[in-house]
Structure 1
Amino acid sequence: MTDWADSRTFSNALERAETLEKGNYFENFSDGQTIEHAPGFTLSAHANELWMSQTLNHDPVYWRSDAARAVGYDGCPIHPDYLLASVMGPSVEDLSEKGGYFLGRDNVSLHDPAVMPGTEIRVESTVEAKRESSSRPDYGIVTWETTGFDAETDEPLLSYTRTNMIPRREPMASDGGRESPTDSRAAAEPDDSGLPSEFISPDGPYFEDFCDAHERTTDRDAAVAYRHERGRTMDDVMVATLPLVTLNTAKQHHNDDYMTDSPSGEIVAYGDVTRSVALGHARSDEKTYREIGYGNERFYDFVTVGDTIYGFTRVLGIEDTGDPEAGQVTFEHYAFNQRDEPVYSGTRTALIRRRNQ
């Protein structure tokens, strides 16, 4: 049986697997196009106060109910800076995750100055304009109007326009006609690691996409296996704060002095944080309906501050349970670091939404 977590085998798998990309290219946008962003979320007092405290915004109106009432509010409202960030945040995956320069934001309007904690927001953007970049053939320029709404009342809370340079899928002809990069997966040489000769990735995030990909492996030496594009670099909050928030007081995660003479030589990440990052990468490329269970979890190496965690997934099985909302998929997920070394693996079974739901 192939040991996918063997360092050499796993490195070969990464070289051959397709990366499921996040975000949109310039060509994906069209004038007047409206994009409903997901997910919106509920504005919380805790997150609001965390934002204000870390940015030194100490206006008592946003901290004390007596000060808030003195200016006509029923209670301490959400700070406008946090509200603006909360409206922009959900738009990033659809609009600018591919990268490119943030050229500016204009016409920021607070439609409701007293948005209260507990408000659930949804966010929508409309393409106002797109144009070529005369100086950068690899990029185009897109302007959107983005609005955050109260999800319950549909009243606008905040809006603005934003302009970004956005990478093109294909550079303009003026760049001298660059050749497309060679598909390394197609050109990969056979190896003796025992891996399947062919890797297949799903064409979308729905149950039907996983079914189609799985069916394509029938009677072939193939596997549904793919990489996730995002990575997450471990910082002090990830390594030390998150375990303490869960009341995990293990010295390995927050006592540098204790860990100086350990094999790692420094504090290490809580395994469940590493695991959650890997599963988070995977869930971002699927329409998860409900989690069912996990198993066969293994941790292979230390993860420390500064390590970047990526994700790799293969599909082990598909089951149509007859549920009209979703179908069942069993995955094996891997977390790996910036050196392409596996640091975690485990199986996971989840219900994945059907396309028509």
Structure 2
Amino acid sequence: MAGVWFDELEVGQVFHHAIRRTLTETDNVMFTCMTHNPALLHLDEEYMKGTDFGQRLVNSGFTLALMVGISVNETTLGTAVANLGWDEVRFPKPLFHGDTIRVETEVLELRESKSRPTQGIVTFQHRAFNQHDELVATCKRSGLQLKKPVEQAP
């Protein structure tokens, strides 16, 4: 189990995730098509040449999913019960094919579950940066997390 138990997390704790990912045209087109998103922003290079961006943008849904996915190994792998929601999702700068992202996660809030004594609710702040260390995405994610199991006497 790579994730962290609820009772091992601390408010203010920051995880600098080792996985980095270069975004490809295939990533963008496959995600966009799989989610039935016909936006020209992601699919039509000729159309985008005439815009302020000059090229296709990486689908923000993919950016969000990748940012959260990169965080899983060090935070919730094997310890998550359920994802409760994503809030305050922001994309301050666009991503393009060939950009590389890195992600960091901060623990913002911890509270005991009132109805589930073996679990707690954690709020994470995920932040993604491009290869120029520019902030490209953020979101708060709340999840139900397992507490460390109590060892039973033999």
- Measure how far apart 1:94 and its partner are: 1.8
Aligned partner (choices 83, 99, 110) of residue 102 of structure 1: 83
- Measure how far apart 1:103 and its partner are: 1.1
Amino acid at match of 1:73: F
1:162: which partner in 2? 141
Question: How many residues of Structure 1 are paired with residues of Structure 2 in the alignment?
Answer: 153
Instruction: Confirm whether residue 52 of structure 1 aligns to residue 24 of structure 2.
Output: no
Alpha-carbon spacing, 1:59–1:181, altered in 2? closer, same or farther (3 Å): farther
SS of residue paired to 2:98: coil
Structure 2 distance, partners of 1:169, 1:33, is 18
Amino acid at match of 2:152: S
TM norm structure 1: 0.41
Structure 1 distance, partners of 2:66, 2:82, is 20
Structure 2 distance, partners of 1:111, 1:132, is 33
- Measure how far apart 1:47 and its partner are: 1.2
Structure 2 distance, partners of 1:107, 1:80, is 14
Amino acid at match of 1:119: D
1:63: which partner in 2? 43
Instruction: Confirm whether residue 84 of structure 1 aligns to residue 86 of structure 2.
Output: no
Structure 1 distance, partners of 2:50, 2:68, is 30
Alpha-carbon spacing, 1:181–1:76, altered in 2? closer, same or farther (3 Å): farther
SS of residue paired to 1:24: coil
Instruction: Confirm whether residue 115 of structure 1 aligns to residue 87 of structure 2.
Output: no
Structure 2 distance, partners of 1:180, 1:111, is 49
SS of residue paired to 1:57: coil
Structure 1 distance, partners of 2:45, 2:149, is 54
- Measure how far apart 1:79 and its partner are: 0.8
Structure 2 distance, partners of 1:79, 1:70, is 18
- Measure how far apart 1:181 and its partner are: 7.3
| TM-superposition CA deviations, 1:85-121 (whole Å, max 9, x none) | 1111101112222221211110000111x31111111
Aligned counterparts, 1:261-300, within 5 A: none
Alpha-carbon spacing, 1:62–1:181, altered in 2? closer, same or farther (3 Å): farther
2:21: which partner in 1? 41
User: Structure 1: 5+ residue runs without aligned partners?
Assistant: 1-20, 172-178, 183-357
User: Structure 2: 5+ residue runs without aligned partners?
Assistant: none
TM norm structure 2: 0.92
Amino acid at match of 1:111: P
- Measure how far apart 1:66 and its partner are: 2.2
Aligned-pair identity in percent equals: 27
- Measure how far apart 1:162 and its partner are: 0.6
The alignment yields a C-alpha RMSD, in angstroms, of 1.5
1:174: which partner in 2? none
| TM-superposition CA deviations, 1:240-289 (whole Å, max 9, x none) | xxxxxxxxxxxxxxxxxxxxxxxxxxxxxxxxxxxxxxxxxxxxxxxxxx
The runs of 4+ residues in structure 1 deviating greater than 3 Å are none
Amino acid at match of 2:90: S
| TM-superposition CA deviations, 1:148-184 (whole Å, max 9, x none) | 001x21110000101111000036xxxxxxx6276xx
Alpha-carbon spacing, 1:170–1:129, altered in 2? closer, same or farther (3 Å): same
Instruction: Confirm whether residue 31 of structure 1 aligns to residue 3 of structure 2.
Output: no
> With CA pairs under 8 Å and 6+ residues apart, which has the higher RCO, 1 or 2?
2
Larger Rg: 1
